[in-house]
Amino acid sequence: MMKLYFYTLIILCYACSLDVISETEISGDGIINTTTRANSVLSKAFHSFRISPDYFTPLTEDLQPSYLISYNQDLLRYYNWNDRLIQTRSAHLWETYYNIIAQLNVLLESEKDIINKGAEWNYIKGNALVFKAYLYFDLLQLYCNRNDGQAPGIIAKQSSKMATAERLNQTQSVTLIREILSEGISLMAKYPMPTPFFLNENSAKILQLQVELYKKEYLKVETLAKELLPLMGQLQITANIYENLWRNNTDKETAAIIWSIDYKDNPNKFLIYDKPNEGDYLYVSNKYIYHHDDIRYRSFQFSHVMKSLGGIPIERRLLGKYRNSIQDQKAYNLVMYRSADPYFILIESLLGQHKDMEALELLNGFLGKVNSRKIDYTHDHESLLTIFRTEKQKEFIGEKINYFDLKRWNTGIVRYTADSDNVSIKIDKDDYRWTWPIPLSELRYNKNISQNSGWFTIQ
């Protein structure tokens, strides 16, 4: 057999996400025929997944602008949901996700060549499948209308030999995600030596919960969550654990982290003004107040005195995740899933079934652990749902999940003027920008798909 020479990881399909990627482009210095080489390809796929929080957090209500935002017009426009900047981010994310899916497909298709298949290969294959399900689910949430079975869904690239494809509908998309996720979980089950920064059985099951919550399968979510939570042990919340959540590194991770990625930068660097002692472009929204006794008061935010529009110094609450001061710009691992995720998913599933008292007991149990004020039992269902959503946004402030929740909850949001609580723009719940545009490069290449409503269409 002629010896094969391979390039290191170079993805050549910038013009189109669905170009064919072969083993020769991603697999290193030899054919993928051992678990060591397969593990290397999987590592490269995870390493390619470095989507900054600034893709999502500015679009939420987590933060509002300080006067410094005028020095970063792109961030200000993105905060205000500028079409052009959403298109730019959309194109980069689409390309990144489908390039990673191409890498994973090559890895999965190498199974026939793997020598001595066993538990390690099953773990690698399971990771590749679950990671692909994760990417597909993100694409479904970003590029498709809210849960609408027959509406256009994802483009499913299940083979490295497929050049173009039509969009599945959303029902078909979820069915595919469920299938590959279920297979991945079964292959990963009980693997005793999970690899740092890879997925594991618990993180895969959290993704499974998110998919079922998206479909409003509340009873199924409740059942799965109640099976998962005991396996994860106690809800990992203390002041020390919450401090360590955002200061993690490769040799010191808190038990509360279920999955993190090796980010190699400060995840919230985008917030920091060029002269860091001046403050941040965005500060913690006045919608989300942490009381002094709340353990999140010192780990989710920190106070910094900065100028205001009038030139008067004012104390602002800046986002404290991955930083404990304005000077802290060190690289930290990016937390993707943590022990609070399935807990809040379970509460939402109970509210979805109108099991309000059980939901409230769990929510108050959580609030008790963080030393926050508990919710009284006088609220009706709608007000309790509103309270829950506010509490979840507070808990996951600055994290990717908050954007997806806002879209899934079908809620409108507002934009504020700098250094004030004055509303400048309202983003309606039916605004077309909740559904991101298909990149123009993809539309030029793939004639089987059309642009999402409201966005520019190639004639």
In a domain, 65, yes or no: yes
Tokens of 421: 């609580």
* Per-residue model confidence (pLDDT) at position 458: 59
The C-alpha atoms of residue 101 and residue 18 are separated, in whole angstroms, by: 9
* pTM for the predicted model, two decimal places: 0.93
Q: Count structural domains, the chain.
A: 1
* Per-residue model confidence (pLDDT) at position 234: 79
> What length does the chain have?
459
The C-alpha atoms of residue 78 and residue 58 are separated, in whole angstroms, by: 7
* Per-residue model confidence (pLDDT) at position 397: 98
In a domain, 236, yes or no: yes
In a domain, 455, yes or no: no
* Per-residue model confidence (pLDDT) at position 249: 53
In a domain, 257, yes or no: yes
**At 195, which CATH number?**
1.25.40.390
DSSP-assigned beta bridge partners for residue 315: 305
- The C-alpha angle with vertex 429 and arms to 388 and 178, in degrees rounded to 5, equals 70
* Per-residue model confidence (pLDDT) at position 253: 55
In a domain, 40, yes or no: yes
User: In degrees rounded to 5, what are phi and psi of residue 283?
Assistant: -125, 170
**Which stretches of the chain score pLDDT less than 50?**
1-20, 250-251
CB 286 within 8 A of CB 264: no
The C-alpha atoms of residue 69 and residue 52 are separated, in whole angstroms, by: 19
CA 287 to chain centre: 22
- The C-alpha angle with vertex 275 and arms to 271 and 279, in degrees rounded to 5, equals 50
In a domain, 432, yes or no: yes
Q: At what angle do helices 381-395 and 401-408 cross, to 10 degrees?
A: 160
CB 144 within 8 A of CB 153: yes
* Per-residue model confidence (pLDDT) at position 137: 98
The C-alpha atoms of residue 125 and residue 187 are separated, in whole angstroms, by: 7
- Among 90, 201, 85, smallest CA distance to 138 is for 90
Domain with 318, as residue range(s), is: 23-445
In a domain, 457, yes or no: no
Greatest CA separation for the chain = 75
The C-alpha atoms of residue 203 and residue 257 are separated, in whole angstroms, by: 10
Query: Helix H segments across 253-373?
Result: 296-299, 340-352, 356-369
pLDDT digits (tens, 9 = 90+) for 311-355: 899 999 999 999 989 999 999 999 999 999 999 999 999 999 999
In a domain, 6, yes or no: no
CB 239 within 8 A of CB 299: yes
* Per-residue model confidence (pLDDT) at position 12: 37
